[in-house]
Amino acid sequence: MLLLGIETSCDDTATAVVRDGRDVLSNVSTNQDAFHAKFGGIVPEIASRQHLALLSAAVADALERAGVTLAELDGIAVTAGPGLIGSLVIGVASAKALAYASGKPLYAVNHLHGHIFAPFLERDAEPEYPFLALLVSGGHSQLVDVAGPNDLHVIGRTRDDAAGEAFDKTARLLGLGFPGGPAIDRLARDGDPLAFSFPRHRPDADSLDMSFSGIKTSVRYFLESAAGKAARAEDVAASFQAALVDVLIDRVDRAAARASYCSVVLSGGVAANSALQAALRAWGHRTNTPTHIPHLRYCTDNAAMIAAAADRQGNPLLADARALSADPNFAFDRTSEPVKKA
């Protein structure tokens, strides 16, 4: 099946053409970092306006790079949520228009499902069901039990900040700018992860939930102290990163002890972090559990993962997209949990 994927849930304008949910024929993505950097975070109104300006060209570019026409596609997959509502409106409206004009099936995809199926892209060895997904990004941190393409259940989540949010806020404390995750990762490579001890959240015995606000707050108070003012930024970054990674690996270990999983998947923007990747691979080697991590280009938001999820989950919103004009009920999924709705 040949699908066009469209992803505009936040600030990346992304399109892709994917065959059979695995072979990426094109993958186009334009980030807006330069527009948001001076604000220290994403400005929703700016993001939606940039999507409006870029999306038509991005769709044309993806089709041209893949060497296919709209008529040759088997369907169109679009992120329908969760995300910034203004950004989602641009992507969904464009996908509906393309589906209507071409008569192709339209697939509405949960953004988090896309991240979970990103490790299937351009890989010979695919995760075997059932698998445990550790999904960590700027807006979400979850452990998801994946028994099948349409059988996903959240078994653990953050109680406050997401892991990516903690990275960004800590980077701001260190004066590293935005986005903070890659900056801390680079700085930490020259630091000592054992230089300082920041707190690791330990949940109740029966919980797999996470918490990262305490780590961030601890870094803030430390930097305001006499010892913090004299500390090397590299050591602070490495110690903070080590604390956050320890929490994530601890939850994976706890979840794997409760159920029998064939493999573990790491996904989301924070999956690009080198220390987290190394720690998960080491855990997999130690426990003899296959681990699957997407290529770096599929860790952050991208449209190829949206097409991959649509291919595996099936169930187009409407087989005949021309009927969309008579369907007033197509709305956005604003939930933050990658759970199949009844």
* Phi, psi for 5 (deg, rounded to 5): -105, 140
Confidence grade of residue 81 (pLDDT, cut at 50, 70, 90): confident
Q: What is the location of CATH 3.30.420.40 in the chain?
A: 2-116+299-326, 127-293
**How does the average pLDDT of the chain come out, rounded?**
88
Confidence grade of residue 12 (pLDDT, cut at 50, 70, 90): confident
Give the model confidence (pLDDT) of 250-278 as tens digits. 999 999 999 999 999 999 999 999 999 99
In this prediction, residue 327 carries a pLDDT of 45
One-letter identity of residue 271: A
**Closest alpha carbon to 183 in 37, 24, 16:** 37
Q: Which pair of tokens denotes residue 150?
A: 């349409």
Give the model confidence (pLDDT) of 201-225 as tens digits. 888 888 999 999 999 999 999 999 9
CATH class of 2-116+299-326: alpha beta
Domain 127-293 belongs to what architecture? Answer: 2-Layer Sandwich (3.30)
Q: Which residues contact 326 (CB under 8 A, 6 or more apart)?
A: none
Q: Does the pLDDT at position 333 exceed 60? A: no
Percent of the chain with pLDDT over 90: 75
**100 φ/ψ sector (left φ>0, alpha ψ -120 to 50, else beta):** alpha
d(CA 7, CA 316): 17
In this prediction, residue 285 carries a pLDDT of 98
Give the model confidence (pLDDT) of 112-167 as tens digits. 999 999 999 998 889 999 999 999 988 889 999 999 999 999 999 999 999 999 99
**Closest alpha carbon to 309 in 58, 30, 118:** 118
How many Cα atoms are found within 13 Å in the side-chain-facing hemisphere of 79? 37
In this prediction, residue 337 carries a pLDDT of 44
In this prediction, residue 329 carries a pLDDT of 44
Q: Does the pLDDT at position 171 exceed 60? A: yes
Q: Does the pLDDT at position 331 exceed 90? A: no
